[in-house]
Structure 1
Amino acid sequence: MTTSRTLATADHEGTVRRGDLATWYRITGELRPGVAPLVVLHGGPGCVHDYVLTIADIAADTGRAVIHYDQLGNGRSTHLPDRGPDFWTPQVFLDELDALLAELGVADGHHLLGQSWGGMLGAEHAVRRPAGLRSLTIADSPASMRLWVAEANRLRADLPPDVQATLVAHEAAQTYDDPAYLAAVQVFYDRHVCRVVPNPPEVVATFAAMAADTTVYLTMNGPTEFHVIGTLRDWSIIDRLDQITVPTLVVSGAHDEATAACVAPFVERIADVRRHVFPESSHMPHIEEREAFMALLAGFLAEVDAR
């Protein structure tokens, strides 16, 4: 499944500042005129960039710069634990993305890849039809949170009975930090989030960062993947997908918590779309089938640039 290839080091790091807000970013490779970089949007909401760093392989393999960043509230960017639900909306992250693209001088030409929540954010960016967006890759993302919750609970019903009983008991008591509950959730994660067990260091680092500051995840999502009660609970982009006009690649894993039903609206409603399922992967095919993922992505980007 995964490979032993090391993670690429950054060629440049920096921050984009807007008033008292700072967004940290890193660039692998060199930004070059005429070569649109790939901008990577991490998931969560509330994750950090670490677990999608394998996608920097594209820089070494193709000479295309790859830009990662930590979204506001996460990682090396400004943390805002005192901001309430009214602040944590997709618009905050769209504004942040616009500022990043402008600061780096790539607003007029960029490819975008969003993983999980990042794909939701990427779709929100694409429906605005920004002139500089060359392509969109939606990786392991739902088209609506109601689809996500319904499918997560369908997959949960296939867990061993004792695991299900543990989940139910602790959710009733709201003891989400109990070790028994966390162990039961991990059974789901090992099946449907990352099937490389033990998890690679970049995945471990991401979960540790989320645990260290739960503000964004708890506020926008909720306490678990099964209980989405945050500001995203009613989010959907289904009725706006026909506004996406750039070439779009939709990928997921055969064992993904972002199931076929979750991603189907992207495939059905985006006009210029391609679809691929990684047979050995769950929610992180960029790790679980790394070489195949990079080959597919590199080919797609080259196809778009050749138009």
Structure 2
Amino acid sequence: MSTDPQPPGQERPYPEPTKAGTIPFEYPSTGLKGGTYYLVFGDLSSGKRPLICLHGGPGAGHNYILPISLISKDYDIPVVMYDQVGCGKSTHFPDKKNDGEFWKPEVFMDEFENLCSYLKITEYDLLGQSWGGMLAGNYAIDRQPKGLNKIIISDSPADMITWVSTANRLRKELPKDVQETLTRCEKEEKTDTPEYEEAMMVFLNRYCCRLNPWPEEASATMANLSDPTQTTYMTMNGPSEFHVIGTLKTWDIREGLKKITSETAPGGLLVMNGYYDEAQDETLEETEKYIKDLGIFLTAE
């Protein structure tokens, strides 16, 4: 029998956060003031390099990545996660809803640096899932942060065109009546109707969460994304994973990935996805093509 820790999941109780609260955040270019809700699992003063987690969406919130908190319990590694502004328990900035000039990756890069400064984190490993992985790559390229050690990119594309192309390929595998409903609602601009949402759930049940019923954490994240006061997903992405009409429509960091080297992430880079995943292999192959030093550090110290 294996002595390895059991895989994370709803059958294992998560540790209680050792610290949680809201960090003041002011976006420099606008002077807007708000707050970032965060949780810390483990001891940031232990001397061990923490793992900071970036959730997806945009606008998904931290709920569905809570299983990662078990790393603090199993391996004594501090784990930090937070709700990015625009969703969850962080400030939503409702006046900026549908403001494409405001909701860009730069907002979230500044928020991340503000989080690290507030928690006095100078060295860290970074895990980004879906949009969070896009943000992690964008951040590493644009800011070349000094304290970054390892990067984990989970289920994330390097450009939105490949992502949408892949999503539409998966869409063609849905039942014909579901495809017809999606197409008709998009053509009639009725993507906010229960009919469209029901058809989207068929897709999500195949490529987002295959458990039935969904775990509480996944349902909470879906509630974050459908919250009418949430300001990021529709503005940055659009009504669905394959109908991307927001500010991320032309997002592309492929050429910039050449700037992520062994100096940028000395601990290495791990790129991963799942078999039943929106981020199919072709989305990750784009990353591998463009990164000069691709290191797998599963056994790295």
Alignment of 1:199-210 (within 5 A): 199-210=214-225
Q: Tell me which amino acid in the other structure corresponds to 1:199.
A: W
Higher relative helix content: 1
User: Could you say which residue in structure 1 is the equivalent of 2:253?
Assistant: 237
The partner residue of 1:124 within 114, 124, 138 is: 138
Which is further off, 4-13 or 110-119? 4-13
In the other structure, the counterpart of 1:267 is 288
Give aligned pairs, total: 279
* Matching residue's letter, 1:266: T
Letter in 1 for 2:71: I
Partner of 1:10: 17
For 1:3 and 1:222, the matched residues in 2 are separated by 30
1:88 is paired with a residue of what secondary structure?
Answer: coil
Please give the alpha-carbon distance, in whole angstroms, between the structure 2 residues aligned to 1:179 and 1:129.
Answer: 43
What's the TM-score once normalised by structure 1's chain length?
0.87
1:95 and 2:110 equivalent? Answer: yes
Q: In the aligned structure 1, how far is the partner of 2:84 from the partner of 2:231?
A: 12
Task: Tell me the TM-score normalised to structure 2 length.
Answer: 0.88
Is 1:221 matched up with 2:233?
Answer: no
> Residue 95 of structure 2: SS of its match in structure 1?
coil
Asked whether the equivalents of residues 111 and 136 of structure 1 are also in contact (C-alpha less than 8 Å), the reply is yes
Q: Is the CA contact 2:10–2:215 (under 8 Å) kept in the aligned structure 1? A: no
For residues 79-114 of structure 1, the C-alpha deviation after alignment (integer angstroms, 9 at most, x for no partner) is 1121121100000000000111111111x2100000
- Structure 1: how far apart are the matches of 2:25 and 2:186? 39
The offset of 1:180, in angstroms, is 2.4
Give distance in 2, aligned partners of 1:9 and 1:34.
20
Q: Which moved more, 1:229-238 or 1:30-39?
A: 30-39
Q: CA RMSD in A?
A: 1.6
**What one-letter code is carried by the residue in structure 2 that aligns with 1:239?**
E
Could you list the per-position Cα deviations for residues 174-194 of structure 1 after superposition, in whole angstroms to 9, with x for gaps in the alignment?
222332222211111111111
Q: Which runs of 5+ in 1 are unaligned?
A: 276-298
Moved over 4 A (4+): none
Who is 1:150 aligned against?
A: 165
Q: Secondary structure at the match of 2:37?
A: strand
Q: Percent identity?
A: 43
Tell me, yes or no, if structure 1 residue 178 matches structure 2 residue 193: yes
Q: C-alpha displacement at 1:11, in angstroms?
A: 1.0
